[in-house]
Structure 1
Amino acid sequence: MDTTLTDPLVGRLLDGRYRVESRIARGGMATVYLALDVRLDRTVAVKVMHRSLAEDPAFVRRFIGEAKSVASLSHPNVVQVFDQGTDGDNVYLSMEHVPGRTLRDVLRDRGRLPAREALEVMIPVLAALGAAHQAGMIHRDVKPENVLLTDDGRVKVVDFGLARAAEASNQTRTGMMIGTIGYMSPEQVTAGAADARSDVYSAGIMLFELLTGRQPYEGETPMSVAYRHVHDTVPMPSALLPDCPPLLDTLVAQATARDPANRPADATAMLVAAVEAHRTLPRESGPFPSVPVSPLPTGPAPAPGVPGVAGGVPNHTLIQPRADLLTGPAADRGAPAGTGRRGFRPNWFLVALVVVMIAAVGVTGWLFSQGSTVPVPELLNKNVTLAADEARRLGFVVEIGEAQHDEKVAKDLVMRVDPAPKTEVEPGSTLVLVASAGPKRVNVPNVVGMDENAAKEKLAAAGLTPDDVKKQASETVPRGQVIRTSPGVGTPVKENSKVDLIVSKGLVMPDVQGMPKDQAEQLLREAGFDPQSVEQNDAAQPCTVIAQDPRPGAEVDKGAVARLTLSACSVEWHWPWENNGENVNEDGNAVYIPNVVFKDVRAARDELRAAGFKVEIRKGLNRGRVLAQTPPGGQQAPAGTKVTLWH
């Protein structure tokens, strides 16, 4: 039965936007459909999560967050995410549709890949992972099923973030490990932890499989495979294929080290090593020589009596020597007795005929090549080194132009070819490849300590745009000078980016009115001022600040004089609730006022309120601790008396 016909989503308009045309694939967490975005009139792939995950709120929350992160990741080797949404019970992603097949399909058809081809698949995969790692994203499920090969030869990685979203689901909380056991790093197995080096490990396992046609570990159960990832060392590819280049043995060994500290730091570091290995391989290197694939020491033994199979890998996928093209059966067996001369005449005739045909084909090809043209290959968005190698293999002369900055094309990828791709040119023509130098970045210059105008001029000269100016009190930076910038000094930012200046407004005069003289003078000295006081007769509490100059909140320089006007200090005075020096409230009970000086202002407020007092909080130096208190602690007062705190 055609399952597409019975799928309830096929033919439906999902979320009022995506008309589902057919089902492409079904996996462990989602089903993928081919759909038409009716709003933008384009074909997309829609990945719909399975119902068990869509009904889990934790998964949906994480899924939405991961979708937003992946949508911001723009790289030619990453399948682009366009949209994310829900439609009833359906939670979905709308993605770029990539016609082609998975790397798993290729391995199924071919068994394994030649050394150069394996690296030419891994290099764009590592470029995609490297871009994700630099953006702070981890794939967590690197495997051939998540690598797509397009019909025009491009390589794209899919399903970034899906494994992380699944980690939030109830399924994982009941013990299911997220990832694919055959490619899972030791730390993912033992602790469920993953970072960039975990992706590197999985990429190393995948490279091993591309080279050998099999995974390094086999077992009867997934847990037995997981156990070997934790306790065994991944064998070298040459253990199965003796002629495997030593550099690839080294690359696999480094990527699959059990200790993450011994692996390349991220996919970009592994990419550099892979490009170098590719560069050193002979250009003409095709598939490995047709040597039997040996079983790993811990793997199953070859099946006895079954030709062409070793360690479970069919040899029919390998390129076989063709030495029999010019030798017939008689040559293999020897000529029958009495027919020696006649036995050789047909073979010499065939040899001569082949030579004449080869010469004729060569001459004809040369004649036709005179005056013919060839198209410039499509080299855009490829690594410039690999693109140059490809062009030279096709017979072009290659010049590498000066790299140019570009906000959209990643560093070291070809952004322009001259002549343009698909242009018809003469064979052997010169192609100029211009690579991207990546986005242009300008470091924020150091303008700390400059006045506002000079700082703005220096920012503009560096190609940046001075934006908002914010004032902030400072005890160390004089008024009018820059304290810092936002983004900070030395931060690389895009050209013409806006930069805020935080400028000192000097010291701010604290409010000490109503504060006892000793506490007020101590606070002002601590703030960097020079307090000077005069007294005048006043009915207020003795030796209390009744006026100050400069006014509270004024912006002044450090060391400025703070003039305080005090009520007379020699006058005898009693608190309003005192009667002949006795502290008594209305019902004859007195309450001790707690001493909260130097305590956290919030804790002090709560303590006073718990004791039954009202609290007023005023800013002094605004340091979060009580600097002064009135009435002072230790004396008795009626419940409900107001206590003023400065902080």
Structure 2
Amino acid sequence: MDTTVADPLVGRLLDGRYRVESRVARGGMAAVYLALDIRLDRTVALKVMHRSLAEDPDFVRRFIGEAKSVASLSHPNVVHVFDQGTDGDHVYLSMEYVPGSTLRDVLRRRTRLPAREALEIMIPVLAALGAAHQAGMVHRDVKPENVLLTDDGRVKVVDFGLARAIEGGSHQTRTGVMIGTIAYMSPEQVTAGHTDARSDVYAAGVMLYELLTGRQPYEAENPMSVAYRHVHDRVPAPSALVPDTPPRLDALVLAATDREPDRRPPDATALLVAAVDAHRTLPAGGGVPARHAVPAGPAGHAPPANPTLIHPAADLLTAPPAPLRPPRESRRLRPNWFLVALAVVMIGAIVGTGWWFSEGRYDKVPDLLGMNLTVAKAEAAKRGFEVKVGPAEHDSKLGEGKVLRTDPAAGREVLSGSAITLVPSSGPVKIAVPNVVNLTEAEARAKISEAGLTAGSVSKVPSDTVQRGLVLRTSPQVGTKVREGGKVGLVLSAGQLMPDVSEMQCDQADAFLRQKGFTPTVVQQVDDAQPGTVIAQNPAPRAEVTAGQQVQLTCSKGPDTGFRWPWERDDNVQPGQTLVAIPDVRFKSIRDATLELRQAGFQVKVRRIAGSGAVIAENPLGQAPAGTRITIWH
């Protein structure tokens, strides 16, 4: 925690949204703060540019452009950028807060790392850089300070704020200015200010060297001397300092740090492939014995932090380098008779046990990846191995219950009858759909995103219970487990719409509307429609309404005096035609009501009004000639 001086930003509400809690770091371009996003109630890291840089309009423009590029980069090993904004003379980025420590902190505690562990940190770093390179971005400042190790063991790369889109191999760096950290800067970055994906590869190679040896390849009294050596010297193999470094890792470092960019891997993805391949050849486990620890600097102190520099190139290229320290005199080799005797014994033991190897005492671990776990166990047992099953691990591609990996890995030679551990896949990570009902669309999208899912399609349906514009339900429904990153559809309320009660009997319409929370009034009007039938309504059908709203129903009181319905006039009744009693099918199921009316000789028209499974209104009632159309509502 950076507690050097009181910081005026601490305690302030930045941009009306971010409450700054404390300052956690300060670098060459910006300070980083821990803050609370009061709008989404989440902890974030705020990167606030130094005021001197914020006053440069060109720098601010590039900063904002780079922020947009990084925000579009979605990768599990990249610290996500949430937001960018300004508050007065403060220009900031809002980023994912990653609790844990930096790789620099780890090196200070442990000096150096075993080869396998060093690769297991570099592999996710290279995966993050590779994703950026594929998207046309360059990090430009790869170093241990910009690699975070979370409390749960994840590795994340931070500070892509200097990343810049690759545009036809040219860049927009200001003439004569270098941006980066001298200890990890590629020769072409020093001499010409030119950077591309291969510059990140160079810095990654230097960082791997430092993880393996505990030292940076070039250490000098001033930055000019370090820059000079990047241009004129060749990074040594790590085994020159740590003799037990595997040759494959020597080769990785030397290839990545070649002074000629064209002779390096073209991007981080190419270096990643080589690193993964090298990792497969290393034995599992193992640490750094105390007797092999290499001091990290003078007097056993860790090397100083490496702030990002924005430095005139001319200062580094024209100033004469400080004299390089002469190499220490090689110690005179003296025979160690104990080691000589030990070597003789070991050679004798190897010769004496040759029969063991020639008799096929070693077997290769079979390739069981992707097999059903039960089948794989049987296959391994058939080949004479002792089989153990490790805890299942999530995998986005391999289905549940299939072998994700083995320990030792497939193809490794092990003693016959050895135990091998099968690690099954538990399938992709699945996340329960969060409860977003009654939230706005924006709030629901944010909550779904925070859960690790993606908001999908949006539709709207009427609702009598949920306010217009709020989430009515989700698809899949709340609580359903969905693959990480999966889509969740939102169904929003279109609000309450006025039901269409036209042609319904007035008493039935009045009862239905009161049940829905409306306050109806009835106006009678002479009309040829059947007496007691709704002939008009206000508000009109499907108009937006609110609960308790006044509704006026205009009902027919029949035609002028003397009118009779056709079936009430004897002269219009056809010979043999009789009136038939209309079954009262209210409150019966739609299926049963329709069947009963048709069996009685009537036609049936079904109208949906409430979405109920039962009939809520019927017109006409009483008697009518066979074949009359009866309307039912549900």
TM range (shorter): 0.3 to 0.5
Give the TM-score taking structure 1 as reference length.
0.47
Q: Whose relative contact order is higher, 1 or 2, with alpha carbons under 8 Å and at least 6 apart?
A: 2
Give the TM-score taking structure 2 as reference length.
0.48
